[in-house]
Amino acid sequence: MKSFLPNLITLLNLLCGCIAALYAFQDDLLMAGIFVGAGIFFDFFDGLVARTLRVSSPLGTQLDSLADMVTSGLVPGIAMFQMLKDAVGLNVWDQDDRIFIIDEPTAWLALLGFLITLGSCYRLAKFNIDDRQTDSFIGVPTPANAIFIISLGILAQQTQITWLFETLTNPYILLGLTLFSTYILNAELPLFALKFKNWGLAGNKIRYAFICISIVLIATLKIYAIPCVILIYILMSLIYQWLRKPSQKV
């Protein structure tokens, strides 16, 4: 039973992803985001439990990627599909909401949102065979990318700020964000991981700095802070890699 516990937690991640997908297909990105957040929590927690119990296994590694494919790969693709669909004012379903209409050029535009899902799948497969990513990441992790995309979708649906609404409902900007997201998932960008080998300050300065900045931003800007936090994570990683000496480790 002890060896199965981390896998059970991973399956909870998958369950959250399935529920999030249902909400995302209904264009309820807030609820989709809540369940994606829960899934990402389980995704972090399963690894922590596996390391604590010392029951890591190849099966757990594969389950983790398969669950992430749904929670952090499929759902953000659906979210971008919905954002593009709404941006062009298209009803892509027939009158009975059963058949997807693909004879409209704008329907194909909305489908480009699933490039994020394809990019996420490629990243997860590459991650499983890349031994460089044991203590850090090469490219943005799928959970961070999922948070970034879905938070933008939530802002597009809920913001009262005119310029932000117009920005996040502009189809050209959304296409740009789709391409940017797909690229940073698989780019050769060295990014630090939030996994703590110990709780000491030495070797964890950047992690503690990032956590403190994130808390301050979320406390002050609330939902508006979330995409900013992801961009700051990328920026801090790049600056840190540029400044650190070759002998130092993240």
- 120 and 100: one domain? yes
The predicted model scores a pTM of 0.87
Instruction: Please identify, among 188, 223, 238, the residue that sits at the C-terminal boundary of a domain.
Output: 188
- 55 and 92: one domain? yes
Q: Give the pLDDT of residue 95.
A: 57
Instruction: Please identify, among 157, 173, 188, the residue that sits at the C-terminal boundary of a domain.
Output: 188
Domain CATH for 143 = 1.20.120.1760
- 27 and 90: one domain? yes
| Tens of pLDDT, residues 196-226 | 666 677 777 888 999 999 999 999 999 999 9
Residue 129 belongs to domain spanning? 5-188
3 state SS of 132: coil
**Token reading at 9:** 């937690």
Q: Give the pLDDT of residue 44.
A: 85
Q: Give the pLDDT of residue 196.
A: 65
Domains in the chain: how many in total?
2
- Could you give the residue ranges of the DSSP H alpha helices within the chain? 5-25, 29-53, 58-68, 75-87, 105-111, 115-129, 142-158, 162-168, 171-186, 205-221, 225-243
- 239 and 135: one domain? no
DSSP 134-196: SSEEES--HHHHHHHHHHHHHHHHH---HHHHHHHT-HHHHHHHHHHHHHHHHS--EEE----
- 103 and 24: one domain? yes
- 83 and 133: one domain? yes
**Token reading at 75:** 């759902």
- 182 and 201: one domain? no
Q: How far is CA 88 from CA 83, 182, 194, in A?
A: 9, 21, 38
How far apart, in whole angstroms, are the C-alpha atoms of residue 233 and residue 164?
22
Low-confidence stretches of the chain (pLDDT < 70) are: 1-2, 90-106, 133-135, 196-199, 244-250
